[in-house]
Amino acid sequence: MEGGGNLEAAIEQLLNVEKQMRLAGDVAGTKKAVTDILQLCFEARAWKTLNDQIVLLSKRRGQLKQAVTAMVQQAMQYIDETPDLETRVELIKTLNNVSAGKIYVEIERARLIKKLAKIKEEQGLIAEAADLMQEIAVETFGAMAKTEKIAFILEQVRLCLDRQDYVRAQILSRKISPRVFDADTSKEKKKPKEGDNVVEEPPADIPSLLELKRIYYELMIRYHTHNNDYLEICRCYKAIYDIPSVKENPVQWTPVLRKICWYLVLSPHDPMQSSLLNSTLEDKNLSEIPNFRLLLKQLVTMEVIQWTSLWNTYKDEFENEKSMLGGNLGDKAAEDLRQRIIEHNILVVSKYYSRITLKRLAELLCLSIQEAEKHLSEMVVSKALVAKIDRPMGVVCFQTAKDSNDILNSWSMNLEKLLDLVEKSCHQIHKETMVHKAALKV
């Protein structure tokens, strides 16, 4: 009790000093008095007194900004020294209330919220943690380091994905431009000009830009997996694959390249998919996994692929994917893979035939007539190809219907070609007769 009395007397004495310094406008003196009070409470392990003093000092009339900043920064060092979780949460909440609405301690507040959210998450209160994190818009903080901003936003995205709030996760992820990861970090260390905001150094536990790049794309894969957007998932894996540390290590790039190949095959056929498919085929690393090279080669080749033989060949690889980095390919993946092979086969048939019977088309696709018609109709609706089905006759026509102008143009072209040929023939005959006449005269 005597120690408590001594503490109170010492605090009272320092409060008088703080008042004199504050009224005199002495920044250094006020800061020292404030931090000394907190240090006394900390050394006496008087946590309740510490909280009370923080609130009291921050509310004193005309309190200097620098003193509040110094106090918040000082008290933040004590958070990890607290004896139990309850005391820790209480201290964080006190500091949070003190720094609320004060721009000069916005970075400290963001870090406090992050700590509190982590505690909530560990207690299993993910929704509460996500709500806490969303209060802070770090993209507006001029003095916060770029990596810390990105790490904070990624944490917001992760918590939204954990609580399955996919719409908000997408909105938050848009705050990060993927181009930011390709910036050359070596050029960024410029000396701040006079009047510029001095950017704070990020804390030691913040990952580097390239590590953040990987975390960002892994979170985006989680988001796109929810929508089964295979092409976007593939592009995310491609971005991870291009990270130098991954590309240099076969143990790391092999599972990523496998995923790129699988998701390319699962993506619906469009120009972006074709472009990625061809660029992946040119990758020298693909020769290390020949099975997948063969799989992509089959998709590029304009030949009908037999689904049963393809599935028998790749079934084991498909199952093995579960034990690989990134886990399995999703519940619908096998079904979608078959769908893509059927679509590929219909495109191949449309290249070689202008008209074909439905029966023969179904045979080529190894499907029943009803299934073949269903898949063909779906492709026509999605504008992947142009076709018409004469159902009574059972004939599919892949030719596009031409309008009158096109027909007239093609006729006039044909006539031009015909007249050209007639003219050339006449010229050749004339030439021959001239040569032979000359020969007869001799």
- Domain ranges within the chain, ordered by starting residue: 1-118, 264-352, 354-423
pLDDT-derived band at 423 (thresholds 50, 70, 90) equals: very high
Long-range contacts of 347-354 (CB under 8 A, 24+ apart): 347/269, 347/384, 347/385, 348/302, 348/303, 348/304, 349/304, 349/398, 350/385, 350/387, 350/398, 351/302, 352/302, 353/398, 354/397, 354/398, 354/399
Q: What pLDDT, on the 0 to 100 scale, is given for residue 327?
A: 63
Query: 38 with 9: CB under 8 angstroms?
Result: no
Closest CA to 96 of 78, 112, 107: 112
Which of 130, 135, 34 is CA-nearest to residue 75? 34
The rounded Cα 61 to chain-centroid distance in angstroms is 48
* Beta-ladder partners of 357: 395
Within 242-368, where are the H helices? 244-247, 250-266, 271-281, 290-300, 307-320, 333-352, 358-365
Alpha-carbon distance 340 to 337, whole Å? Answer: 5
Confidence of residue 368 (pLDDT cuts 50, 70, 90): confident
What pLDDT, on a 0 to 100 scale, did the predictor assign at position 182? 73
Distance CA 396, CA 303 (A): 19
d(Cα 441, Cα 433) in Å, to the nearest integer?
Answer: 12
Average pLDDT, integer, range 251-266: 81
- Of residues 164 and 133, more confidence is placed in 164
Tokens of 65: 């900004």
Helix axes 230-241, 250-266, angle to 10 degrees: 160
CB proximity list for 43: less than 8 A, separation 6 or greater: none
Residue 213, helix vs strand vs coil? helix
The per-residue pLDDT for 420 is 92
| Tens-place pLDDT, residues 147-205 | 888 888 888 888 888 888 888 888 888 888 878 777 655 544 554 444 445 666 666 66
Task: Tell me the pLDDT band of 424, cut-offs 50, 70 and 90.
Answer: very high
Rounded Cα gap, residues 214 and 151, in angstroms: 11
The CATH architecture assigned to 1-118 reads: Alpha Horseshoe (1.25)
Q: What is the pLDDT of residue 425?
A: 93
List pLDDT tens digits, range 318-337.
777 776 666 666 667 778 88
Q: Looking at residue 314, what is its pLDDT?
A: 75
Confidence of residue 422 (pLDDT cuts 50, 70, 90): very high
pLDDT of 246 > 80? The answer is: no
Q: What is the mean pLDDT of residues 337-347?
A: 83
Q: Which of 130-134, 333-337, 374-378, 416-420 has the lowest mean pLDDT?
A: 130-134
Cα distance between residue 271 and residue 384, in whole Å? 11
**Which contacts qualify for 178-183: CB closer than 8 Å, 24 or more apart?**
178/216, 178/239, 180/146, 180/150, 180/209, 181/209, 181/210, 181/212, 181/213, 181/216, 183/209
Distance between alpha carbon 364 and the CA centroid of its chain, in Å? 39
Distance CA 423, CA 430 (A): 11
- Token pair, residue 79, equals 């958070």
Looking at residue 323, its pLDDT comes to: 64
pLDDT in the model for residue 184: 55
Report helix, strand or coil for 197. Answer: coil
Q: Does the structure show a pLDDT above 90 at 98? A: no
Assess whether pLDDT exceeds 90 at residue 369: no
Closest listed residue to residue 153, CA positions, set 143, 140, 164, 142: 140
31/203 Cα distance (integer angstroms): 23
| Class of domain 354-423 as given by CATH | mainly alpha
Higher pLDDT, 373 or 413: 413
Burial environment of residue 415 by CB neighbours within 10 A (0 to 12, 13 to 18, 19 or more): exposed
Q: How far is CA 164 from CA 160, 161, 207, 215, 321, in A?
A: 6, 5, 25, 18, 24
Average model confidence (pLDDT) for the chain?
A: 76
Average pLDDT of the residues in 120-141 = 74
**Residue 252: what pLDDT?**
76
Does the pLDDT at position 419 exceed 60?
yes
Tokens representing 372? Answer: 């073949």
Contacts of 354 (CB under 8 A, 6+ apart): 397, 398, 399
In three-state secondary structure terms, 393 is coil
Position 418 scores a pLDDT of 92
Structure tokens at 295: 């799989």
Candidate from 5-14, 122-131, 428-437 with smallest mean pLDDT = 5-14
